[in-house]
Each structure stands twice: as C-alpha cells, then as structure tokens.
Amino acid sequence: PKEYKSAIVDYALDYVTHPLWGFRAPGFNGFDQIVGPALQDVWQGKKTAAEAVADIMPTAQAYFDKEVLPLMG
C-alpha cells in the first residue's frame, strides 16, 4: 500500500540506529530480484559463485545502466 514507505521506510530511517542499507540504495529492489535467485543456486550447490555471477552480470549491468545510473546524476 502507499502508506508502506511512511510506515516502514521513513520510520526506520528516523528511528532505527542502523537502518537497512537497501532503504537508501537506488535500485535495490531490482538488484534483489536479479541476485536473489542466483544466490539460491549457489546456496543449493547448483552453481559456483563464479558461475552465478557470470550468469547474472549481463542482466545486472543492463539494469544498472537503465535504472540506477540515471539516478546517480
């Protein structure tokens, strides 16, 4: 819901002594959608970390270039 940001994120930024870095990182949610499944493959022993990173780099770079880089000015 639209109230989520003020109820959760703004509150955490104002009152939590060590807020989650994802609240401030531009594009965090998109990267989480890319990296999360790759990490699961590593944790489940389906891929090495190097294989997982190599697999997601094109998608992660494209996401960064399109969604994050423009926010950085």
Per-residue pLDDT tens for 31-60? 889 999 999 999 999 999 999 999 999 999
Q: What per-residue confidence (pLDDT) applies to 19?
A: 55
- Give the residue, 40 or 17, on which the prediction is more confident: 40
Mean pLDDT for the stretch of residues 10-26: 66
Which 8-state DSSP code applies to residue 69?
G
Residue 20 sits at the vertex; the CA angle it makes with 49 and 1, to the nearest 5 degrees, is 105
Question: Would you give the distance in Å from CA 45 to the centre of its chain?
Answer: 22
